[in-house]
């Protein structure tokens, strides 16, 4: 995986509180910082799923950097005691494990949003100073509520919600409701409940869930119309629960406009394009989300579905294997793997996979489906009990095995009845019915063709124009006029060449910008675009030349090389040695020995 210099993975902050139940709080802090950093245009931020794949794992940051394709890694911890919090954070260079920055923050709980904003801004500043220009806003986090308890309950709700199981969603809704009771003007828990009910509606085709989702989302948007989580929830309701492809795409794009790194929304777009049969566009989005979120089992599954619907079953299995490597219990990937082995006509691998994955939903039905599809093979499977079990729990399965069995039992009219009911109820497991390989025997029926025509009529589909292209982060707009560039370059030269401000070891991009009476964003742009260096490279180049002069001056022979480095403005032995070797190709001691008269 290629690595962008301006990139970061925020690892889950460790819960250092006495109470292990405070895990939700440290997870919430982590997610808020991830989301804040995604607001810095040009900074690649690894998505939550991939960062959290390293939770409770002792993995070297260099290995993490290689896996995620990032230049920096943020580690931290949170200690919460009554109304006090202590947050520690350290930014580490992934290539060599060097600590670029670290700090402790002791605050009151009511200051939680301010400290999250402070940490996010400091991290962005450090990446800009070390790796190149970024435009950074004055604030990256705004307080969504003034009620700390409501926020605390919201974090608990999201912690359980993100477990993505029935019990987690149920608990999540309960905490969201408690959060709303604490602060009815806090929008995020409304969106959390709205999304939860939208997902339930999409799975069960339940109108009551749909109405509840609508109600909570409506109230959330009354309070806040600029929440990417809100637009994501609305997109989920439109696409998955209503199969409204036009609105779904529009709302997913609104979510992405507010948070371009939110890969769950772009995954929704990929799934939408998959459903309407635009597999090329779906794959383009999927490859993009995997670049930002390379350890998401969901994203690998989405990629595998595209291969499956394209009849490339070996490639689909590769994606399922990648998903199961991240999450061995990921049900969708287990079921899809079974489907692919059946379609590849490989009973030995199907049987072996079922034995290795006892959590598979319908093992006997899978074997029976194989036998029905390939009756000539000598496989000892009793089919007599299958018809009676076909409908058992059909609405709750990840894959519509009951539908596939009816097709290959020869009950085509009954299969079409089941399919029509699923489409009428807008049930998620059949959304790709037009291209599902197991349903090919139904393609010759007028009922099937009519179902396709009605569901995917041109008037129901998004128009041919793709979503608006995001602004290219690589094309940096000019922040100063030509006259201003000349003016500030001259002023910068005066500060560094004549006044030697680089000798101040505490000099930063912000303090240098203040001395120039220039905004840090503009100074960062000036250095990168007109000098071709980031802040640290420029200042350390001056310090390096100052050191070389001092080191060759006999009057300084009584001082150590490290002392001379500190006198030249360096404030770290490691930074000095690494920078010197990088520029001169030798250690400081070897260089001095070779250059002394």
3-state SS track over 396-411: HCCCCHHHHHHHHCCC
**Residue 108, domain CATH:** 3.40.50.10610
Measured CA to CA, the distance from residue 136 to residue 45 in angstroms comes to: 14
258 found inside a domain: no
Q: For position 477, what pLDDT does the model report?
A: 65
Q: Are residues 60 and 21 in the same domain?
A: yes
CB contact at 8 A, 465 and 250: no
Among 82, 106, 131, give the residue marking a domain's end. 131
Among 66, 100, 131, give the residue marking a domain's end. 131
Q: For position 330, what pLDDT does the model report?
A: 92
Q: Are residues 414 and 518 in the same domain?
A: no
Pull the structure tokens for residue 82: 């009554």
Q: Are residues 11 and 126 in the same domain?
A: yes
Average pLDDT on 515-538 reads: 93
CB contact at 8 A, 342 and 366: yes
Among 100, 116, 131, give the residue marking a domain's end. 131
Q: State which residues form the domain around 511.
A: 486-595
pTM for this predicted structure: 0.85
What pLDDT, in 10s, does the model give residues 5-35?
A: 899 999 999 999 888 888 999 999 999 999 9
What pLDDT, in 10s, does the model give residues 34-79?
A: 999 999 988 999 999 999 999 999 899 999 999 999 999 999 999 9
| Percentage of the chain modeled with pLDDT above 70 | 94
Q: For position 113, what pLDDT does the model report?
A: 93
**Closest by Cα among 13, 17, 152 to 79:** 17
Q: Are residues 502 and 460 in the same domain?
A: no
109 found inside a domain: yes
Q: How confident is the model at residue 469 (pLDDT cuts 50, 70, 90)?
A: very low
**Residue 468 clears pLDDT 50, i.e. is over it:** no
Instruction: Give the dihedral of Cα atoms 557, 559, 562, 565; nearest 10 deg.
Output: -80
Average pLDDT on 262-284 reads: 96
**Residue 536, domain CATH:** 1.10.10.60
148 found inside a domain: no
**Burial label, 103 (beta-carbon count in 10 A; 0-12, 13-18, 19+):** middle
71 found inside a domain: yes
Q: Are residues 446 and 490 in the same domain?
A: no
354 found inside a domain: no
Average pLDDT on 213-222 reads: 96
Q: Are residues 447 and 501 in the same domain?
A: no
CB within 8 A of 107, min separation 6: which ones? 84, 85, 86, 87, 114, 115
Q: Are residues 9 and 118 in the same domain?
A: yes
Q: For position 395, what pLDDT does the model report?
A: 57
Q: Are residues 16 and 110 in the same domain?
A: yes
What pLDDT, in 10s, does the model give residues 283-315?
A: 999 999 999 999 999 999 999 999 999 999 999
CB within 8 A of 465, min separation 6: which ones? none
What pLDDT, in 10s, does the model give residues 351-368?
A: 999 999 999 988 988 999
Q: 89 or 479: which carries more pLDDT confidence?
A: 89
Q: How confident is the model at residue 164 (pLDDT cuts 50, 70, 90)?
A: confident
Q: Are residues 422 and 523 in the same domain?
A: no
Average pLDDT across the chain, whole number:
91
**Residue 472 clears pLDDT 70, i.e. is over it:** no
| Percentage of the chain modeled with pLDDT above 90 | 82
Radius of gyration for the alpha carbons in the chain, expressed in angstroms and rounded: 29
Q: Are residues 444 and 496 in the same domain?
A: no
The domain total for the chain is 3
Distance of CA 533 to the CA centre of its chain: 30
305 found inside a domain: no
Q: For position 381, what pLDDT does the model report?
A: 76
Q: Are residues 492 and 587 in the same domain?
A: yes
Q: Are residues 59 and 123 in the same domain?
A: yes
504 found inside a domain: yes
194 found inside a domain: no
Taking the CB of residue 467, how many other CB atoms lie within 10 A of it?
A: 17
**Residue 403 clears pLDDT 90, i.e. is over it:** yes
Average pLDDT on 484-511 reads: 95
């Amino acid at each position: 995986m290629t690595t962008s210099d301006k990139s970061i993975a925020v690892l889950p902050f460790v819960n250092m509180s006495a109470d292990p139940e405070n895990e939700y709080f440290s997870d919430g802090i982590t997610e808020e910082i991830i989301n804040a950093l995604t607001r810095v245009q040009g900074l690649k931020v690894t998505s939550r799923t991939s960062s959290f794949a390293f939770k409770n794992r002792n993995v070297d940051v260099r290995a993490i950097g290689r896996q995620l394709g990032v230049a920096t890694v943020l580690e931290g911890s949170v200690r919460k005691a009554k109304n006090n919090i202590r947050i520690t954070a350290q930014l580490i260079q992934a290539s060599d494990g060097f600590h670029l920055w670290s700090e402790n923050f002791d605050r009151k709980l009511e200051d939680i949003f301010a400290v999250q904003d402070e940490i996010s801004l400091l991290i962005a500043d450090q990446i800009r100073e070390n790796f190149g220009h970024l435009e950074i806003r004055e604030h990256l986090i705004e307080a969504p509520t003034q009620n700390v308890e409501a926020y605390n309950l919201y974090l608990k709700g999201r912690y359980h919600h993100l477990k993505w199981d029935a019990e987690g969603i149920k608990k999540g809704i309960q905490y969201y409701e408690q959060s709303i009771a604490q602060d009815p003007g806090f929008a995020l828990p409304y969106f959390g409940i709205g999304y939860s009910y939208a997902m339930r509606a999409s799975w069960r085709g339940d109108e009551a869930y749909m109405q509840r989702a609508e109600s909570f989302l409506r109230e959330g948007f009354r309070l806040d119309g600029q929440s990417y989580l809100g637009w994501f929830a609305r997109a989920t309701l439109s696409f998955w629960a209503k199969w409204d492809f036009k609105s779904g795409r529009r709302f997913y794009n609104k979510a992405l406009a507010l948070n371009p790194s939110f890969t769950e929304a772009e995954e929704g777009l990929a799934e939408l394009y998959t459903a309407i049969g635009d597999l090329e566009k779906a794959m383009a989005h999927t490859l993009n989300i995997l670049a930002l979120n390379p350890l998401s089992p969901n994203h690998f599954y989405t990629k595998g579905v595209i291969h499956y619907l394209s009849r490339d079953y070996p490639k689909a299995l590769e994606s399922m294997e990648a998903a199961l490597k991240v999450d061995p219990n990921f049900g969708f990937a287990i079921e899809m793997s079974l489907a692919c082995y059946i379609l590849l006509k490989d009973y030995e691998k199907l049987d072996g996979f079922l034995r290795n994955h006892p959590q598979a939903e319908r093992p006997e039905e899978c074997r029976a489906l194989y036998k029905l599809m390939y009756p000539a093979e000598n496989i000892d499977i009793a089919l007599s009990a299958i018809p009676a079990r076909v409908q058992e729990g059909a609405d709750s399965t990840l894959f519509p095995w009951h539908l596939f069995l009816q097709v290959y039992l020869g009950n085509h009219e009954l299969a079409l009845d089941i399919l029509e009911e699923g489409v009428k109820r807008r049930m998620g497991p059949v959304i790709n019915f037009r291209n599902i390989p197991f349903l090919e025997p139904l393609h010759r029926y007028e009922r099937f063709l009519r179902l396709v025509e009605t569901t995917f009529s041109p008037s129901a589909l998004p128009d041919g124009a793709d979503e608006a292209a995001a602004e290219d982060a690589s094309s940096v707009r000019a922040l100063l006029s030509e006259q201003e560039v000349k003016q500030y370059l001259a002023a910068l030269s005066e500060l560094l060449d004549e006044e030697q401000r680089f000798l101040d070891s505490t000099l930063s991009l912000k303090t240098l910008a203040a001395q120039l009476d220039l905004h840090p964003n503009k100074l960062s742009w000036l250095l990168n675009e007109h000098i071709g260096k980031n802040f640290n490279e420029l200042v350390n180049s001056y310090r390096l030349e100052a050191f070389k002069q001092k080191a060759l001056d006999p009057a300084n022979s009584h001082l150590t090389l490290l002392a001379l480095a500190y006198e030249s403005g360096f404030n770290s032995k490691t930074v000095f040695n690494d920078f010197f070797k990088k520029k001169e190709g030798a250690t400081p001691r070897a260089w001095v020995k070779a250059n002394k008269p």
